[in-house]
Amino acid sequence: MADTKALYQEVILDHNRKPRNYGTLEHASHKAEGHNPLCGDHIKVALNLDGDHIDGIAFQGESCAICKASASMMTATVKGKSRRDAETLIREFRDMAIGKLDLTSQPHHLGRLTVFAGVRDLPTRVKCAILPWHTLHAALNSIASTSTEAEDDPMHAPIGNA
């Protein structure tokens, strides 16, 4: 467990120092803004769909370290993936963060994203980690603005199914 914790801290620090795909995206076909009033996180996700593939993606905003690291890893992971694969990852990440996905017994595609599994034990951080994914889901579905406190709260809303 100590190794997992060390890796988690290392990954968070690394992605905060050098966030991947941070900034604006020219010619974005889809974008959305996400808020997490609980922590004050506010991010924007912009992406460009080329047919069914996420050709380019970028994020920016003001957020805590966990949210920023999650957004950075998310953009690096879904870039080049199909919309369907991205929706699968959104669902799996959410399920992992809220403790619904058992990483050892259930199949998943999260890879390095499993460093965020520890947030399930930090209730106030769950929404920070989920916010970028929730915002990506909104962007893919052309919902301009979303909030972790909205009716379509990621904790309860069915995600995917596209």
Site residues, Zn ion (CB under 5 A):
39, 41, 64, 67, 128
Least Cβ distance, residue 26 to Zn ion (angstroms):
28
What is the sign, positive or negative, of the torsion defined by CA atoms of 126, 128, 131, 132?
A: negative
Q: Given the complex with Zn ion, which of 57 and 128 has the nearer CB atom?
A: 128
Nearer to Zn ion by C-beta: 49 or 113?
Answer: 113
Closest distance of CB 12 from Zn ion, Å:
12
HSE-up (13 A, CA, CB side) for residue 68: 19
| Least separation in angstroms between CB 25 and Zn ion | 23
CB-wise, 49 or 73, nearer to Zn ion? 73
